[in-house]
Amino acid sequence: MSVHPFYEARVLDLAPDRWWVTLRVFVVDYDAERRWHAELPDDPGFVLSLLWESADGGGPLGASVTWRELEDDGWLAVNARWFVEGVERLAVRNHPLSDEDWAHIGSAQHDPAENRLVQADYEVRVTDARWLEHLAPGLSWEGGYYPSPTRRLRAEDAPHVPDLTEPEAILAPFTDSDQAVVLAFSDDGRFLAVTSEDGELAVHDTADWSERLRASPPASAGRDIVWVPGQHVITLKEDEYDEVRPWAYDLRSDAETDLPVQPGRVRSRTGRFRVEYGDGRVDFVSGSSSPDRAVRLGDESSGRVRAVAFSADETRMFVALGSEVHVVEPATGEILDVIAVPGDWLNSLAASTDGAYLAVAAQDWNDEWRCTPDIYRVADRELIMRRPAKDRSQPGYSAQALAWSPDGARLAAIVENEIHVFRVGLPDEPPAGLRPSLGDQERSKP
């Protein structure tokens, strides 16, 4: 995978019949001047990469995984668990390094003493004895893996994050010349509404993705979608035209309808909180006049807020400003946390119903292979999932808008002029080629 080694690994103990191996891993990549060294991760992706490199492309493990797959953050986040069941860090040495150790590493340069290196011992449990066939006690090798935060997916995350490997559905409601711009689910997740730059509206039934409604509202109707709380009534508006009665359509009666103005561009589940947003701020509104109150996240130089989402219980609001997500308590306006997202700015964001996970669409001009949406675990701000790259010869997958269904079952993304819909919950079973050869045979116990 890489000609530059970051680690050296050694087999300390091995029990193929019990499907475990004990490894000692040394960090061998240092910058003594900056006092930097490669970190010591303990995620399944790290261990899978090490084991694969020890196989040198041969044996069952080498035949089951390619180096391109291991370089794909999205593939590794989803599939490392089919190979590595668990990783336990048993001991860590020389971390942090002392001044004496740094002095030795700086003077020794390419050949520092082993006992001075940052190192750790790991007990690794694999899913199949095949993945250990090529190992032997005392075997040592170098590894070129560089830790990626997308490889920190935990087993408990699997039921709650979208399966980004393949869309459940791909919708193309508009012509190539008419760009989809906004999408929003109804409160029960039954319908997905999408508007275009030319003012067209399409509503799809999520049961079979059939088109439930196609409409051409008047030009003054706007592009922003605000569903009436708890109803299958959709309204369109522009935030600049709050004084104008919005265009509304009732899917129950299949007819346009008159409604009072729906305040705000985004609302919480019950409509308790409704917000507009602009340069470095979020305005809470209850009518068409001036804001009731505002949460200031920056100044005019901070750029515009690009997206806002709420948790279902209305206790948290997530605000995309620049390349950061601000976690806000909407009742008080208190900023609870800030999640930094690599890239130049965020196009959009969406929150899971419980607010435990965020989907973000990031724009990064320096990373043409950037695959979005990315999934973050809010509790520790970790990036845990990225859409696998399907073809490195094509430009990166880039989402312009996101919506997480209120029933928690789906994530929808506007990608160029298509809507890609992903099911929430990773597969419970590995692909056929990665299933353990021993079936349900119980492993021996230590």
Residues 314 and 258 occupy one common structural domain:
yes
Residue 350's beta-bridge partner residues? 359
Residues 97 and 228 occupy one common structural domain:
no
Q: What are phi and psi of 282, to 5 degrees?
A: -125, 125
- List pLDDT tens digits, range 327-348: 999 999 999 999 999 878 898 9
Domain that holds residue 47: 7-151
Residues 265 and 216 occupy one common structural domain:
yes
| CATH, residue 255 | 2.130.10.10
What CA–CA distance (Å, rounded) separates 60 from 50? Answer: 15
Residues 179 and 138 occupy one common structural domain:
no
Is 274 inside a domain boundary? yes
Q: CB burial class (10 A; 0-12, 13-18, 19+) of residue 14?
A: middle
Q: Which long-range contacts (CB under 8 A, 24 or more apart) does 237-243 make?
A: 237/261, 237/262, 237/265, 239/265, 239/276, 242/285, 242/288, 243/288
Q: What integer is the mean pLDDT of 148-177?
A: 85
Residues 120 and 199 occupy one common structural domain:
no
Is 441 inside a domain boundary? no
Residue 31's beta-bridge partner residues? 36
Is 337 inside a domain boundary? yes
CB contact set of 175 (below 8 Å; sequence gap of 6+): none
Query: DSSP H helical segments within 109-198, as ranges?
Result: none
Is 386 inside a domain boundary? yes
Handedness of CA 352, 356, 361, 367 (dihedral sign): negative
Residues 340 and 244 occupy one common structural domain:
yes
Is 248 inside a domain boundary? yes
- List pLDDT tens digits, range 248-306: 999 999 999 988 778 888 999 999 999 999 888 999 988 655 678 989 987 666 788 99
User: How many domains does the chain fold into?
Assistant: 2
What CA–CA distance (Å, rounded) separates 197 from 180? Answer: 6
What would the two tokens of residue 224 be?
């922003």
Helix (H) or strand (E) holding 90: strand 84-93
Is 160 inside a domain boundary? no
* pLDDT band at 189; cut points 50, 70, 90: very high
Return the exposure string of 220-233: e unless at least 16 CB atoms fall within 10 Å of the residue's CB, then b: ebbbbbbbbeeebb
* pLDDT band at 43; cut points 50, 70, 90: confident
CB contact set of 274 (below 8 Å; sequence gap of 6+): 262, 263, 264, 266, 267, 268, 284, 285, 286
Query: DSSP H helical segments within 83-215, as ranges?
Result: 99-108
Residues 191 and 306 occupy one common structural domain:
yes
- List pLDDT tens digits, range 70-114: 887 778 878 888 999 889 999 999 999 999 999 999 998 778 999
Residues 241 and 303 occupy one common structural domain:
yes
> Contact, 49 vs 38, CB < 8 A?
no
What CA–CA distance (Å, rounded) separates 185 from 48? Answer: 38
What CA–CA distance (Å, rounded) separates 82 from 74? Answer: 14
- Annotate 377-400 with three-state secondary structure: ECCCCEEEEECCCCCCCCCCCCEE
Q: Compare 77 and 395 and report the one with higher pLDDT.
A: 77
- List pLDDT tens digits, range 3-32: 578 999 999 999 989 999 999 999 999 999
Is 433 inside a domain boundary? no
* pLDDT band at 438; cut points 50, 70, 90: very low
Evaluate if residue 164 carries a pLDDT over 60. Answer: yes
Is 226 inside a domain boundary? yes
Evaluate if residue 396 carries a pLDDT over 80. Answer: no
- List pLDDT tens digits, range 103-154: 999 998 778 999 999 999 999 999 999 999 999 999 999 987 665 655 677 7
Q: What are phi and psi of 12, to 5 degrees?
A: -90, -40
Residues 187 and 80 occupy one common structural domain:
no
Residues 282 and 390 occupy one common structural domain:
yes
Residues 127 and 225 occupy one common structural domain:
no
Name the maximum alpha-carbon separation found in the chain.
80
Domain boundary among 121, 151, 181: 151
Residues 201 and 88 occupy one common structural domain:
no
Evaluate if residue 209 carries a pLDDT over 90. Answer: yes
